[in-house]
Amino acid sequence: MKKALLLKALIVIFAVLFIDQFVKIWIKTHFFYGEHIHVLGISWFQIHFIENNGMAFGMEFAGNYGKIFLTIFRLIASSGIAYYLYYLIKKQANSFLIITIALIFTGAIGNILDSMFYGMMFSESTGFDKAVFMPEGGGYSAFLYGRVVDMFYFPIINTTLPQWIPFIGGSSFEFFAPIFNVADSAITIGVFILLIFQKRLFKPKQAVEDMPSIFEKEE
């Protein structure tokens, strides 16, 4: 049973991580920075290549020190998630819960890889030059200073708000504005599953019986 649960978790981890990195590398080496295309001619479904220094969905985090802090925080958080995943497998928890935690873990790892290694692995992406994998002159930045690659853009609503709306009338409004990647999607899906199905995934009796306690003493 434990081997079966471990296999499910590993399949999710390696499958999502492969897709995430494959898409990012392909986009980075085939698109100019800022280039975008409409998928199947649909205006609200776009591939739009950007990079960011910070958090998920293209959000930024202040400066170089902030970036190092964020990367280290991600590593610590991912280690905690990995331990929790190991604990769930060891306790033979709900397989759906294990898959969900594996999604969140993989999403975190996917973006960590960008931050840690992409700066050394690729040349700079610009509006005039596509990135080159493992360039002779070295990458665009040092270890831990890589930028996260984002590409999925869904501007479903792009309009101007009516003038009669107080304070914000006449301003532009866009939904959904963030540009994201496969790793971001994995984290988001995992979190939504936890929120929606938490009663099924965390049964009170099971949660109490399986919860490790810091007060337990070895006999």
pLDDT tens by residue, the chain, 219 residues: 788 999 999 999 999 999 999 999 999 999 999 999 999 988 899 999 999 876 555 555 555 666 778 888 889 999 999 999 999 999 989 899 999 999 999 999 999 999 999 999 999 999 999 999 999 989 999 998 899 999 999 998 888 888 888 888 888 888 888 999 999 999 999 999 999 988 888 765 444 344 444 334 444
Among residues 87, 146, 80, which one has the least CA distance to residue 111?
146
- Residues serving a catalytic function are 150, 184
pLDDT value, residue 85: 96
Cβ count within 10 A of residue 111: 28
Quote the pLDDT of residue 2.
84
Contact 143, 117 (CB under 8 A): yes
User: Which pLDDT score is estimated for 176?
Assistant: 83
pLDDT at res. 64: 63
Domain ranges of the chain: 2-208
What is the spatial distance between Cα 202 and Cα 40, in angstroms, rounded to a whole number?
A: 41
d(CA 189, CA 40): 24
